DNA sequence: TCTGTTGCCGAAACCGGTTTCGGTAGATCA
DNA sequence: TGATCTACCGAAACCGGTTTCGGCAACAGA
């Protein structure tokens, strides 16, 4: 009893000039009365609110939807373990994004930020770097100076997908990429090319599509691929969502996914498990990613050098039903598709 | 120039003892140098951190997934408008939930809480009420004393779904309910009964199923309904997810949804738009709900009485392709299903 | 026994705001 | 012209912690 608040504070924070006896006494008393220092009272002196900032882009097509819960679970788990919390906000444009971050910084609602969906030229990075606010990227960047990051090796997944299709017997393998604004896009494209090189297939420009964001984009891209004179028998998708569009394209051309044409994608969204046939995909452990990002950001805020905070992890292949040995060769497949289209045309004329 | 910090504070906070001239001078100066009071420094005196707490349950089957982004967008929008922020955390059990809330309360990381998915007997309510922490429910509760809430009138949707099916010509209308742990479950059941009463149909116990959480549960429930001697021709689902399971059940019985059997559901999740045929459902404006909840909670924290903070809103019917006039009457449908099953059995024996 | 150390804790400054209190200048009124 | 009132602002206490500084007591060394 009868210790000054200063002594209590030092005892709780492990200062060396406190005897073990007093330290235990304080710890026990705090425990008994359920005392926890008010975070904002600490912050006024320490300058840290022990809070991670996360601003979600919500304008366009909702990019995080399926992953969000898992991601938040990972982040908050890791943050809680260090007694930190998470401040979430949303923005519907780049301007709004910067303003939102600015507000969180100025009022010190967050000590640093996790930046999901790294873009090629990212205004968030520009702003935060300029203002000396710590941050960590989910996804690598082209200009890495001063940046910490965590990323999944999507390019390896793309490469392995090509190799897998090749081993299943495919010799005409196409690639459908995501929107160009993201940094991972060119990496995945490179991974596709690496895969072709590894198995000794020549890259063909007409086998590559890009800027697929929604599943409808994926449908169009797939249809244009399958209507080529010599269509691909296997298609690698940079995202699950794009691949789900392929199901509609295949249906409208009278094709069966997994038999007539094989599909391998990337992300591991739940919808893939409900597709018919179930989508073979490279799944990302989003929860683990969130946890890594959170604890790395905390280290960064505590002063670790960004160069020491760069990690990558592999995606894990989930073999399901959308890929298999090709039923026909590419030329043969082309003829079948032409036949199907012709039949449909006749039938519609007949009506 | 040369005003004390006390004067500046009063000027910025609109105290009456500051002349307009000084007030403007201060406002302009603050604007110029981009000054924003540190939230935690204010909090130490005011006792408010201007932060809304939200703890998500993430253990079991992820209940919020599809709605989460929209919900967060609504909450953070409304919060930002009042210069508040959102503190998000997660929990994987009831115990963990209470501990997480406790931590946020003790450290004052949040001034109050939004409680999504109100349960019949909710431990969160017990804890917060006991500790005098403001909160608002997303969903009504059975014991309303001291509770503020916002809710969607799911029971009206269920009732209208029944009436709609009746007007389309259905006379055998079943109901598939959600998990019993949620409070909205019994409300929706009541809505179904109200609908039957309104059109003058007798409730039949064998036409009601419950405890459907995942789409697989919905498949089983639907199959058991359709295997009745006199199956329903129309089915109302308390959740979209359950209704998606009906698609598989119908397929396995050789039935076509929207023709042989009609389905109307509730939630408005994106997957419903991709189902074949597209799911007719009562859609909830989750973003608006989040916004209402946030601004009502802020009012609550500022001292408004909980009794004055109770709002409801209707769900909006999205007519798509899963409902229509019944192709057969109920008895006839039963015969067709029996025939299909028999055929399948023969065919399997034949193999 | 005296002098340095050391270990340990109290006292007080400090962080950046908010809020209370008191005093002064100018206006109002008798 | 003097007294009273009012509008306005400065000064200082305060919020709940952290951190610095200084001093006392015990202990070691000479």
Mean pLDDT of B306-325: 97
Which of strand C's nucleotides are less than 7 A from any protein C-beta?
7-22
The 3-state DSSP class for residue A19 equals coil
At B350 the pLDDT is: 66
Single out the residue of A294, A263, A304 nearest to residue A74, CA to CA.
A294
Q: Which positions ≥6 away from A171 have C-beta within 8 Å?
A: A201, A233, A329, A330
Q: Phi-psi category of B117—alpha, beta or left, where left has phi over 0 and alpha has psi -120 to 50? A: left
Nearest CB to B38; choose among A73, A87, A108: A108
Single out the residue of B62, B56, B156, B136 nearest to residue B97, CA to CA.
B56
Instruction: Give the pLDDT band of residue B276 (cuts 50, 70, 90).
Output: confident
Beta strands in chain A (DSSP E): 51-57, 85-91, 112-115, 135-138, 148-152, 173-176, 208-209, 234-237, 262-267, 280-283, 310-313, 316-318
At B60 the pLDDT is: 63
At B181 the pLDDT is: 85
CA pair distance A163, B7, nearest whole angstrom: 71
Which residues of B touch chain A, with CB atoms under 8 Å apart?
34, 36-41, 43-44, 49, 51, 56, 58, 62, 64-66, 68-70, 72-73, 76-77, 80, 83, 85-90, 92, 100, 103-104, 106-109, 215, 244, 270-271, 274
CA pair distance A71, A65, nearest whole angstrom: 10
| % pLDDT > 90, chain B | 83
At B120 the pLDDT is: 82
pLDDT (tens digit per residue) in B126-170:
999 999 999 999 999 888 889 999 999 999 999 999 999 999 999
Query: Is beta strand B51-57 parallel, antiparallel or unpaired with respect to A316-318?
Result: unpaired
Do A126 and A113 touch, CB atoms closer than 8 A? no
Q: For residue A138, list its beta bridge partners.
A: A150
CA pair distance B298, B296, nearest whole angstrom: 5
Q: Which positions ≥6 away from A108 have C-beta within 8 Å?
A: A43, A47, A49, B38, B39, B40
Compute the CA torsion angle A161, A165, A166, A172 (nearest 10 deg).
-110
b/e sequence A152-179, b meaning 16+ C-beta within 10 Å:
bbbbbbbbbbbbbbbeeebebbbbbbbb
CA pair distance B104, B111, nearest whole angstrom: 9
The C-alpha angle with vertex A166 and arms to A161 and A171, in degrees rounded to 5, equals: 120
At B7 the pLDDT is: 94
Average pLDDT taken over every residue of chain B: 94
The pair of three-digit structure tokens given for residue A90, joined into one six-digit string: 């949303």
At A205 the pLDDT is: 96
Single out the residue of B81, B242, B71, B60 nearest to residue B150, CA to CA.
B71
Do A302 and A141 touch, CB atoms closer than 8 A? no
Residue pointed to by tokens 């004055």? B308
At B257 the pLDDT is: 96
CA pair distance A326, B232, nearest whole angstrom: 43
Nearest CA in chain A to B70: A58
pLDDT (tens digit per residue) in B32-58:
999 999 999 999 999 999 999 999 999
The 3-state DSSP class for residue B265 equals strand
Instruction: Give the pLDDT band of residue B269 (cuts 50, 70, 90).
Output: confident
CA distances to A282, B219, B317 from B154, rounded to whole Å, are 38, 22, 11
Q: Is the pLDDT of residue B1 over 60?
A: no
At A300 the pLDDT is: 97
Write the DSSP assignment of A205-226 as a string of letters: GGGEE----SHHHHHHHHHHHH
At A309 the pLDDT is: 97
CA pair distance B228, B331, nearest whole angstrom: 10
Residue count of chain A, please give it: 351
At A210 the pLDDT is: 96
The 3-state DSSP class for residue A106 equals helix
The pair of three-digit structure tokens given for residue A77, joined into one six-digit string: 């788990």
Single out the residue of B167, B248, B250, B239 nearest to residue B209, CA to CA.
B239
At A1 the pLDDT is: 53
The C-alpha angle with vertex A101 and arms to A77 and A68, in degrees rounded to 5, equals: 40
Collect all residues of chain A within an 8 Å Cβ-Cβ radius of residue B244: 274
pLDDT (tens digit per residue) in B216-262:
899 999 999 999 999 999 999 999 999 999 998 998 898 999 999 99
- Helices A39-46/B39-46 angle, 10° precision: 130
Query: Is beta strand A208-209 parallel, antiparallel or unpaired with respect to B173-176?
Result: unpaired
Q: Which of B59, B75, B90 to mutate to test the interface with A (most CBs of A within 10 A)?
A: B90
CA pair distance A23, A27, nearest whole angstrom: 6
pLDDT (tens digit per residue) in B76-108:
999 999 999 999 999 999 999 999 999 999 999
Nearest CB to B44; choose among A44, A87, A244: A44
DSSP state, residue A279: P
- Tell me which residues from 28 to 47 on chain A have a beta carbon below 7 angstroms from nucleic acid strand D: 37-38, 41-42, 44-46
At B336 the pLDDT is: 94
A10 CB inside 7 Å of strand D: yes
Q: For residue A119, list its beta bridge partners.
A: A182
Centre a 10 Å sphere on the Cβ of residue B330 and count the other Cβ atoms it contains: 18
- Helices A154-168/A184-199 angle, 10° precision: 30
Nearest CB to B89; choose among A39, A44, A80: A80
How close B203 gets to chain A, by Cα (Å)?
Answer: 33
Do B111 and B49 touch, CB atoms closer than 8 A? yes
The 3-state DSSP class for residue B26 equals helix
Write the DSSP assignment of B291-332 as a string of letters: HHHHHHHHHHHTT--GGG-EEEE--EEE--SS--S-SS-HHH
- pLDDT per residue, tens digit, chain A (351 aa), is 568 999 999 999 999 989 999 999 999 999 999 999 999 999 999 999 999 999 999 976 665 666 899 999 999 999 999 999 999 999 999 999 999 999 999 999 999 999 999 888 899 999 999 999 999 999 998 888 899 999 999 999 999 999 999 999 999 999 999 999 888 999 999 999 999 999 999 999 999 999 999 888 999 999 999 999 999 999 999 999 999 999 989 988 989 999 999 999 999 988 788 788 999 999 999 999 999 999 999 999 999 999 999 999 999 999 999 999 999 999 999 999 999 888 878 877 765
Instruction: Give the pLDDT band of residue B8 (cuts 50, 70, 90).
Output: very high
Write the DSSP assignment of A123-190 as a string of letters: HHHHHHHHHT--EEEES--SS-TT-EEEEE-HHHHHHHHHHHHHHHT---EEEE---TTBTHHHHHHH
| Sign of CA pseudo-dihedral A292, A297, A303, A304 | positive
At A315 the pLDDT is: 98
Single out the residue of B157, B140, B156 nearest to residue B148, CA to CA.
B140
Q: Greater confidence, A11 or B348?
A: A11
């Amino acid at each position: 009893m009868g210790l000054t608040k200063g002594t209590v504070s030092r005892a709780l924070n492990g200062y060396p000039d406190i005897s073990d006896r007093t330290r235990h006494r304080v710890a026990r008393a705090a425990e008994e009365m359920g005392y926890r220092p008010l975070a904002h009272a600490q912050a006024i002196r320490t300058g840290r609110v022990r809070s991670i900032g996360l601003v979600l882009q919500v304008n366009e097509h909702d990019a995080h939807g399926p992953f969000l819960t898992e991601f938040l679970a990972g982040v908050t788990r890791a943050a809680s373990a260090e007694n930190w919390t998470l401040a979430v906000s949303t923005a519907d444009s780049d301007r709004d994004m910067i303003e939102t971050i600015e507000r969180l910084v100025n009022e010190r609602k967050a000590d640093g930020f996790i930046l999901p969906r790294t873009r090629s030229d990212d205004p968030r990075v520009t702003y935060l770097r300029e203002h000396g606010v710590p941050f960590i990227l989910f996804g690598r960047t082209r200009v890495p100076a001063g940046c910490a990051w965590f990323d999944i090796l999507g390019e390896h997944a793309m490469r392995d997908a090509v190799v897998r299709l090749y081993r299943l017997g495919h010799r005409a393998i196409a690639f459908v990429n995501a929107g160009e604004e993201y940094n991972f896009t060119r990496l995945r494209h490179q991974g596709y090319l690496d895969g072709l090189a590894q198995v000794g297939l020549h890259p063909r420009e007409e086998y590559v599509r890009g800027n697929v964001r929604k599943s409808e984009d994926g449908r169009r891209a797939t249809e244009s691929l399958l209507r080529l004179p010599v269509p691909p028998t296997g298609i690698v998708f940079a995202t699950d969502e794009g691949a789900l569009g392929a199901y509609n394209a295949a249906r409208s051309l009278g094709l069966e996914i997994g038999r007539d044409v094989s599909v391998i994608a990337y992300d591991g969204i739940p919808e893939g498990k409900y597709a018919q046939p179930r989508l073979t995909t490279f799944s990302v452990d989003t929860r683990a990613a969130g946890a890594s990002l959170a604890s790395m950001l905390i280290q960064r805020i505590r002063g670790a050098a960004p160069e020491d905070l760069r990690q990558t992890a592999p995606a894990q292949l989930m073999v399901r039903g959308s890929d298999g040995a090709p039923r026909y060769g590419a030329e043969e497949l082309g003829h079948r598709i032409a036949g199907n289209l012709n039949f449909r045309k006749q039938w519609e004329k007949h009506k």
